[in-house]
C-alpha cells in the first residue's frame, strides 16, 4: 500500500491536478455524512484494515509472551492505521483528480472518464489506477511498482488468513489426536484454498468476489464483532453480578437492554427516507425508554448482598467483564492497580501502556448498539434493493455465506465441548455414542470444570 501512496503523491505533486482531487475529497456540505451507506462501508473498511473479527489478530496474539504489552501495541496499531488511512484517502483523491484533469484536457469519452468519482473497490484498483498509470510519466516503471505492490499485498493477506485458520485447527483436539503438524496442516489449507479460488477465474468470478466481499464485510464481520462485544461485556462475569444482586435482576436488565436496541434498530431502519422525521433518533429514544425501564425494574426487584441504590445500579449495569480484563492487563505494569479507584483510573488515563475506564463502557454499550444498527441498515438496504443491481439468485449466495458463518458460531456456542479432546468425556477410548452423548446431551454443562480438566490432562500428557 505504501508504494501506491507514494505513486499517488508523485502524480499529485506533478502540477495543479492535485487541486481537483483534493477539492473533491473535501465535500462542500457535511450533510453527506448523514448517508448511511458511507458509515456502513467505512466501518467495514476499518474492520478489514485492522483485521478485526477475522481471527488474524487473535492468532498472532497467541504467540505473544505472557508479559507482552497488548494495550500499548493496540494503541500503536490503531493510530498507525488511522494515519495510513488518511494518507490513503488523500492519495486516492489525488489520483482521481489527476485522471479527471487529463480526461478534460484530452476530451476523452471512455468508461474511465465518464464516472471517474463513481469508481470504488475493485474498480478503483483495477480500472482507475491503471488508467492513471497509463496517463502518467514513466508508466512502465510505476506500473511494475503498482501491480507488484498488489501482488505482495495479496500474498501478505493470504499469510495472515492462513495463520488464523491453521492456528485454530492446530490447537483443536482432533489435530493433536491425528498428529497434524503445522507444515502438513498449512499445506492442506493452501491446496484447498487454491482449488476453491478457481471459481473466481471464470467470467462470473468478479461478481462472486464482489458479492462475497460485500456480505462478509458489511454483514458477517459486524455480526461477529457484535457477538464478541456481547460475550465480553455481558456474558463474562455475569455469575459475579448474579451473586451480588440476584440472577433474576441480571437477566431482566440484560433482556430489556437487548430488546431496547433491537426495537430501536427495527424502528430506525423501517422508516421512509423521504420523511421529514429522522426515524433513527425516534428509534434511539424508544430504545432508551425501554432500557431505563429495565434498569429501574431490575434495581427494585434485586435481591442479594448489595443494599445501596447506587451500588445496586453498578452491580446490574456496570461493565464487570471488561473491568476484569483491564485488571489483568494493567496489573502487569502496576501490581497494585484496581478498577474503580480514582487514583488508579487517573494512572490508566495518563499512561500509554494501560487500558482506561471508557474501554468497558464502549464494549458493553456503544459497540453492540452501533454494530447492530449498521447491520440493520445493511439488511434493510439489501432487502429493498438487491446489492449492486445483481439478480436475487446471486445475492442468495451471499446470504448463504452469512447463514453458514452464523451457524458455525451458534453450534460452537451451544456445544463448546465439540472443541475439547474426545478423552475428556471420562473414558480413555470412548465409543462414538458415548462421546456424542457427552457433547450434545451433557448431564451438567460446566465449561469451567471442563477447562480445568483439559488443562490437568494436557499437563499430565
| CA-angle at 229, arms to 63 and 283, nearest 5° | 155
Q: What is the pLDDT of residue 216?
A: 84
* Spatial contact of 355 and 348, defined as CB atoms under 8 Å apart: yes
Instruction: Give the residue ranges of the chain where pLDDT is below 70.
Output: 1-34, 36, 104-121, 271-278, 420-432, 435, 441-461
Exposed/middle/buried for 391, CB within 10 Å: 0-12, 13-18, 19+? exposed
CA torsion, points 324, 326, 330, 336, in degrees to nearest 10?
-40
The rounded distance, in Å, linking the Cα atoms of 142 and 7 is 7
Closest CA to 379 of 257, 258, 268, 231: 268
Residue 443, burial from CB neighbour count under 10 angstroms (0-12, 13-18, 19+): exposed
Tell me the pLDDT tens digit for each residue of 252-264: 999 999 999 998 8
Instruction: Give the cell for residue 188.
Output: 492442506
State the first-to-last Cα distance of the chain, in angstroms, to the nearest integer. Answer: 46
CA distance 164 to 168: 7
Q: How far apart are CA 394 and CA 398, in angstroms?
A: 7
Q: Which of 458, 459, 460 is nearest to 172 (CA)?
A: 458
Q: Provide CB contacts within 8 A for 99, sequence distance 6+.
A: 112, 113, 116, 128, 131, 132, 135
Q: Residue 202: helix, strand or coil by DSSP?
A: coil
Is the pTM here over 0.85, yes or no? Answer: no
Alpha-carbon span 176 to 172, nearest angstrom: 7
Sign of the four-CA dihedral 107, 110, 114, 116: negative
- Concatenating the DSSP letter of every residue in 34-73 gives G-HHHHHHHHHHHHHHHTTTSSHHHHHHTTS-TT--HHHH
Rounded CA separation 37/22 (Å): 22
pLDDT at residue 254 in the model: 93
Helices (H), 231-341: 238-245, 247-269, 279-300, 309-317, 320-330
Cα 289 from chain centre: 29
Q: Phi/psi at 86 (nearest 5 deg)?
A: -60, -45
Dihedral (Cα; 253, 255, 259, 261), 10-degree rounding = 60
Name, in order, each residue with C-beta under 8 angstroms of 44's C-beta and a sequence gap of 6 or more.
217, 218, 221, 222
The burial of 58, by beta-carbon neighbours within 10 Å (0-12 exposed, 13-18 middle, 19 or more buried), is given as: middle
User: What pLDDT score was predicted for residue 88?
Assistant: 78
Grid cell 448511511 is found at: 36
Establish how many alpha carbons lie within 13 A of residue 413's alpha carbon, considering only the half-sphere containing its beta carbon. Answer: 12
Give pLDDT, residue 450. 54
Distance (Å, rounded) from C-alpha 121 to C-alpha 41? 10
Amino acid at each position: 500500500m505504501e508504494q501506491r501512496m507514494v505513486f499517488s503523491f508523485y502524480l499529485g505533486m506533478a502540477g495543479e491536478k492535485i487541486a481537483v482531487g483534493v477539492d473533491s475529497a473535501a465535500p462542500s456540505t457535511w450533510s453527506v455524512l448523514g448517508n448511511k451507506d458511507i458509515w456502513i462501508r467505512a466501518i467495514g473498511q476499518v474492520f478489514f484494515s485492522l483485521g478485526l473479527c477475522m481471527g488474524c489478530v487473535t492468532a498472532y496474539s497467541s504467540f505473544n509472551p505472557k508479559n507482552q504489552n497488548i494495550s500499548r501495541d493496540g494503541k500503536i496499531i490503531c493510530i498507525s492505521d488511522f494515519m495510513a488511512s488518511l494518507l490513503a484517502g488523500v492519495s486516492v483523491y489525488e489520483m482521481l483528480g489527476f485522471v479527471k484533469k487529463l480526461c478534460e484536457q484530452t476530451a476523452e469519452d471512455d468508461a474511465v472518464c465518464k464516472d471517474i468519482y463513481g469508481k470504488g473497490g475493485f474498480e478503483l484498483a483495477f480500472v482507475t489506477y491503471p488508467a492513471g498509470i497509463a496517463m502518467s510519466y514513466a508508466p512502465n516503471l510505476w506500473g511494475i511498482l503498482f501491480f507488484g505492490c498488489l501482488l505482495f499485498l495479496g500474498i501478505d493477506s493470504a499469510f495472515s488468513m492462513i495463520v488464523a485458520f491453521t492456528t485454530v485447527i492446530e490447537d483443536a483436539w482432533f489435530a493433536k489426536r491425528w498428529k497434524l503438524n503445522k507444515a502438513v496442516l498449512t499445506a492442506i489449507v493452501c491446496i484447498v484454498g487454491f482449488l476453491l479460488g478457481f471459481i473466481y477465474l471464470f467470467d462470473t468470478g468478479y461478481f462472486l468476489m464482489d458479492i462475497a466481499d460485500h456480505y462478509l464485510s458489511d454483514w458477517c464481520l459486524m455480526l461477529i464483532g457484535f457477538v464478541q462485544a456481547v460475550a465480553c461485556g455481558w456474558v463474562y462475569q455475569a455469575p459475579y453480578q448474579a451473586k451480588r444482586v440476584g440472577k433474576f435482576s441480571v437477566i431482566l436488565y440484560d433482556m430489556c437492554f437487548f430488546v431496547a436496541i433491537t426495537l430501536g434498530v427495527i424502528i430506525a431502519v423501517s422508516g421512509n427516507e423521504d420523511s421529514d422525521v429522522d426515524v433513527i433518533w425516534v428509534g434511539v429514544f424508544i430504545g432508551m425508554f425501554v432500557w431505563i425501564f429495565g434498569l429501574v425494574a431490575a434495581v427494585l426487584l434485586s435481591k442479594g448482598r448489595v443494599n445501596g441504590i447506587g451500588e445496586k445500579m453498578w452491580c446490574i449495569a456496570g461493565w464487570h467483564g471488561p473491568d476484569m480484563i483491564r485488571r489483568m492487563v494493567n496489573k502487569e505494569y502496576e501490581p497494585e492497580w484496581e478498577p474503580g479507584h480514582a487514583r488508579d483510573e487517573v494512572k490508566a488515563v495518563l499512561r500509554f501502556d494501560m487500558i482506561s475506564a471508557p474501554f468497558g463502557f464502549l464494549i458493553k454499550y456503544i459497540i453492540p448498539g452501533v454494530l447492530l444498527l449498521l447491520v440493520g441498515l445493511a439488511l434493510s438496504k439489501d432487502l429493498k434493493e438487491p446489492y449492486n443491481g445483481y439478480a436475487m439468485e446471486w445475492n442468495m449466495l451471499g446470504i448463504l455465506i452469512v447463514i453458514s458463518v452464523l451457524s458455525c458460531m451458534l453450534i460452537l456456542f451451544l456445544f463448546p465441548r465439540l472443541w475439547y479432546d474426545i478423552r475428556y468425556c471420562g473414558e480413555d477410548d470412548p465409543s462414538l455414542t458415548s462421546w456424542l452423548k457427552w457433547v450434545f446431551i451433557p448431564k451438567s454443562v460446566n465449561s469451567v470444570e471442563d477447562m480445568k480438566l483439559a488443562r490437568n490432562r494436557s499437563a499430565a500428557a
